[in-house]
Structure 1
Amino acid sequence: MERVYVVTHPEASHHVDGVVGGWFDSHPTEPGLERAEEIGRYLRRVVPGDATPQLVSSDLLRTRQTADAVAVAFGIDPVLDAGLREKSYGVAGGRPQAWLAERFVPPPATGDRLDHVEGIEGAETMRQCLERVYGAVRRIEAEPARCRIVVAHGGTAGFVVSAWMGIPLEACSSARFRTPSGSVTILEQDDHFHNRSLVALGITDLSG
């Protein structure tokens, strides 16, 4: 059985400062760092003791430091992959959320949602973001492992789930998996049928 634990980084400075995240390199808050350590302890409890997990993280600071806390729990080093970054909001990154809201062009309910241009200079389209994340998941899977830990962002963690489960990229035009900050999502592939299952989405109670 193969298991994948997708970690959504906990509270970061852009959350509390009310600014746009994206590729803006915000840092974890003190509560965020404490939560990252809690995630590391939780994963150490639930990952089988004889398993050395593959640990891959977005290279942005808020995910790197989350991955570092997980790495301490296992005595391993994380591998950084920029493909796991949050969606880029171009020049809006680091600006107040209100600045983005005034200029943002929301996607239509139907039609070409993946290639929709949001009106923000330098911002990725949803397709560009998805292609990047799907590529990162392919690189992750190219390395043999029975247990994988992937540290990503609120937007891209759900795309990691979609990519790993083999959901066509086009389906992500509308389909989403919501993963709260500081949560863990568990995926599993069985050894008999080789089915891939979403075992738990966005676990926030890590006491078990």
Structure 2
Amino acid sequence: MPKTIYVVTHPEASHHVERLVGGWYDSDLTANGRRHARLIGRVLRTRIPSDVPAELFSSDSLRARRTAEVIGESLGTDVITDPRLREKSYGIADGRPQSWLDARFVPPPRSGERLVHDEGIPAAETKAGFAARVFAAMAEITAGDATHQVIVTHGFTLTFIIAAWIGMPLSAVGVVNFRAEPGSISTLHEDDYFHNRQLSVLAERVTSYD
């Protein structure tokens, strides 16, 4: 059977409007974010056949979990939380003003070793550690036979979800980036003949009910 995965980046959260570093800081959805989550849930309901059970996975961060719960209500599906789907941790910068991080952040070099690059922030995750945990989560999520799955996650995490899906080696993810705004839907598909995997739609911004 073919497989389709809808990857949702959580909508607007309080750290966005307060200009704080997200990461593992447990911000909640704003009122706008909650409305957007309901819209995403309705849209996914039109795309996933009602007679087909869908699996719903989510980062355990509050803002992602709230989004997933709303989607779950639309799909009639329980949420399976997985901390490996969290955003990258920025260590002691999590929850601080974005300007604080910007003033101290050391960007990676253009070439050379980027995966274990020290960004200058104590206790921050390396890109290598971040990618490895997302790859591990995706290996388990995609191993099952479900034909329709939804993953609720974060903007940066989306890059490694896609990389894992298309079989990109971990050694190559140091330079990859798939950009997505909050409240987007990316569609991943695997056909049932060649079993080729594709990124069908990247970061679709849901603004109206289709």
Q: In structure 1, what is the Cα distance between the partners aligned to 2:50 and 2:172? A: 37
Q: In structure 1, what is the Cα distance between the partners aligned to 2:178 and 2:88? A: 15
Match of 2:150 in 1: 149
Cα shift at 1:143:
2.8
Matches within 5 A, 1:92-103: 92-103=93-104
Q: In structure 1, what is the Cα distance between the partners aligned to 2:98 and 2:123? A: 16
Q: In structure 1, what is the Cα distance between the partners aligned to 2:23 and 2:169? A: 24
Match of 1:121 in 2: 122
Runs of 5+ consecutive residues of structure 1 not aligned to the other structure: none
Q: In structure 2, what is the Cα distance between the partners aligned to 1:139 and 1:32? A: 29
Q: For 1:155, what is the secondary structure of its paired residue?
A: helix
Cα shift at 1:176:
1.2
State, as a whole percentage, how many aligned pairs show the same letter.
Answer: 48
Cα shift at 1:207:
3.4
Match of 1:207 in 2: 209
Superimposed CA distance per residue, residues 101-152 of structure 1 (whole angstroms, 9 cap, x where no aligned partner): 1111110000000010101111000001000110111121233211110000
Q: In structure 1, what is the Cα distance between the partners aligned to 2:74 and 2:87? A: 25
Q: Identify which range, 164-173 or 93-102, moves more after superposition.
A: 164-173
Matches within 5 A, 1:24-103: 24-103=25-104
Q: In structure 2, what is the Cα distance between the partners aligned to 1:155 and 1:169? A: 15
Q: In structure 2, what is the Cα distance between the partners aligned to 1:170 and 1:49? A: 40
Q: What is the root-mean-square deviation in Å for CA atoms of aligned residues?
A: 0.9
Match of 2:4 in 1: 3
Q: Which amino acid aligns with 2:165?
A: W
Q: In structure 1, what is the Cα distance between the partners aligned to 2:121 and 2:95? A: 13
Cα shift at 1:180:
1.3
| TM-score, normalised via structure 2 length | 0.96
Match of 1:188 in 2: 189
Q: In structure 1, what is the Cα distance between the partners aligned to 2:58 and 2:41? A: 14
Q: Which amino acid aligns with 1:150?
A: I
Contact 2:8–2:183, Cα closer than 8 Å, also in 1: yes
Q: In structure 1, what is the Cα distance between the partners aligned to 2:53 and 2:172? A: 33
Cα shift at 1:49:
2.3
Match of 2:177 in 1: 176
Q: Deviation above 2 Å: which 4+ runs of structure 1?
A: 205-208
Q: Which amino acid aligns with 1:45?
A: T
Superimposed CA distance per residue, residues 66-91 of structure 1 (whole angstroms, 9 cap, x where no aligned partner): 00010000111100000000000000
Superimposed CA distance per residue, residues 40-96 of structure 1 (whole angstroms, 9 cap, x where no aligned partner): 000000112221111000000000000001000011110000000000000000000
Match of 2:18 in 1: 17
Q: In structure 2, what is the Cα distance between the partners aligned to 1:158 and 1:37? A: 24
How many residue pairs were aligned? Answer: 208
